């Protein structure tokens, strides 16, 4: 756990706290002894199961400044985003607002309050087909745009900043309509599922391991010089094709996946080459094996021997 000069616990402020990763990171930090604050839209549903201090936003930069000045976190964990693999006209404003505007409000509030350390969430979708930069979709382009803003604040105002570009996150209590969850549902319920030919690559990292990556990045910030901006990849280093993932699921569950291979077309800009981060996060590696993670995923969805 990161320590500061304070006699009390280190203080974290988390954005995107009601999302899947955000909820798990809140619990992880609480268990590690942090004092945790979370930003939320006023209409967001929050939980009181943990000793978390919730702060409602009103859309203004002034409100974010008030919160940062009142809480003075040692580290800001910036996870907030509107995730869309594709978008329509109605999605543009909320995606840009969450992806760039809100993040910049947080950075400005940090500058005004004297908070200088931040760990930001990026995505492997910024590297379509393992390119140095090639956006898979608008969401990925906005992640890249905010990373540029973050670098500017580090250069201009002496921030210590790390962006973690994340592979696909999975876990047992995930209600998002991700492909891994659709596969798990089909297996547990003996349901047919229409799939592509299955040659695209999937890189899965368990949510617990992703949380440990954020904590490790925060720990490392203390030794960084002011004005530092770093970007690291959080990957399993064992990306596999969808076909291979289906075989792993079948082996773990001892069931047959009723897959209609080739019934669906590949998506535009499908991931046909495995992502290999240029700079993996130093000192970190996944601890949850794929087999253990998949078994917990299936068990949570009702798998019986």
Sign of CA dihedral 63, 65, 70, 72: positive
Residue 51: the pLDDT is 87
The C-alpha atoms of residue 228 and residue 195 are separated, in whole angstroms, by: 44
Residue 188: both structure tokens together: 């547990």
Residue 6: the pLDDT is 45
Q: What is the mean pLDDT of residues 274-286?
A: 95
The C-alpha atoms of residue 162 and residue 284 are separated, in whole angstroms, by: 14
11-170+204-234 shares its CATH topology with 179-202+237-275+287-300: no
What does the pLDDT look like over 110-136, one tens digit per residue? 999 999 999 999 999 999 999 999 999
Residue 78: the pLDDT is 98
End-to-end CA distance of the chain: 39
Using only the alpha carbons of the chain, give its radius of gyration.
20
**Selected residue with higher pLDDT from 10 and 2:** 10
Q: Which residues contact 148 (CB under 8 A, 6 or more apart)?
A: none
Question: Within a 10 A sphere around the Cβ of 57, how many other Cβ atoms?
Answer: 17
What does the pLDDT look like over 173-184, one tens digit per residue? 999 999 999 999
Domain 179-202+237-275+287-300 belongs to what architecture?
A: Alpha-Beta Complex (3.90)
Whether residue 203 contacts residue 170, with contact meaning beta carbons closer than 8 Å, is answered with no
For residue 52, list its beta bridge partners.
36
Report domain extents, the chain. Answer: 11-170+204-234, 179-202+237-275+287-300
Q: What is the mean pLDDT of residues 222-249?
A: 97
Does pLDDT of 197 surpass 50? yes
What does the pLDDT look like over 3-56, one tens digit per residue? 333 457 899 999 999 999 999 999 999 999 999 999 998 666 666 667 899 999
Residue 1: the pLDDT is 40
Residue 268: the pLDDT is 86
Torsion of CA 205, 237, 283, 11, to 10 degrees: -30
Band (pLDDT 50/70/90 cuts) for residue 75 is: very high
Sign of CA dihedral 294, 18, 101, 89: positive
Residue 4: the pLDDT is 38
Sign of CA dihedral 296, 237, 207, 138: negative
Q: What's the mean per-residue pLDDT of the chain?
A: 93
Domain 11-170+204-234 belongs to what architecture?
A: 3-Layer(aba) Sandwich (3.40)
For residue 163, list its beta bridge partners.
120, 231
Burial of 111 per CB tally in 10 Å (0-12, 13-18, 19+) = middle
For β-strands 160-166 and 201-202, DSSP reports them as: unpaired
Residue 303: the pLDDT is 87
């Amino acid at each position: 756990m990161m320590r500061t000069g304070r006699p009390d616990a280190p203080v974290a402020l988390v954005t995107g706290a009601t999302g899947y990763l955000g909820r798990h990171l809140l619990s992880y930090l609480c268990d590690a002894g942090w004092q945790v604050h979370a930003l939320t839209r006023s209409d967001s549903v929050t939980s009181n199961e943990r000793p978390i201090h919730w702060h409602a936003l009103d859309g203004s930069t002034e409100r974010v400044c008030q919160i940062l000045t009142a809480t003075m976190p040692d580290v800001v964990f910036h996870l907030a985003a509107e995730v869309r693999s594709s978008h329509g006209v109605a999605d543009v404003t909320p995606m840009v607002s969450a992806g760039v505007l809100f993040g910049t409000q947080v950075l400005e509030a940090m500058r005004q309050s004297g908070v200088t350390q931040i760990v930001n969430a990026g995505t492997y979708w910024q590297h379509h087909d393992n390119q140095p930069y090639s956006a898979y979709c608008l969401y990925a382009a906005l992640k890249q745009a905010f990373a540029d803003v973050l670098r500017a604040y580090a250069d201009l105002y002496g921030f210590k900043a790390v962006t973690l570009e994340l592979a696909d996150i999975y876990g047992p209590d995930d209600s998002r309509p991700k492909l891994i969850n659709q596969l798990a549902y089909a297996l547990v319920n003996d349901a047919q599922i229409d799939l592509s030919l299955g040659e695209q690559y999937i890189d899965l990292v368990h949510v617990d391991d992703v949380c440990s990556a954020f904590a490790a990045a925060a720990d490392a910030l203390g030794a960084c010089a002011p004005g530092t901006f770093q970007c690291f990849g959080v990957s399993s280093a064992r990306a596999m094709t969808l076909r291979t993932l289906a075989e792993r699921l079948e082996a773990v569950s001892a069931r047959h996946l009723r897959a209609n291979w080739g019934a669906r077309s590949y998506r535009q800009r499908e991931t046909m080459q495995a992502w290999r981060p240029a700079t993996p996060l130093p000192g970190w590696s996944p601890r949850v094996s794929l087999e253990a993670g998949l078994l917990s995923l299936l068990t949570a969805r009702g798998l019986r021997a």
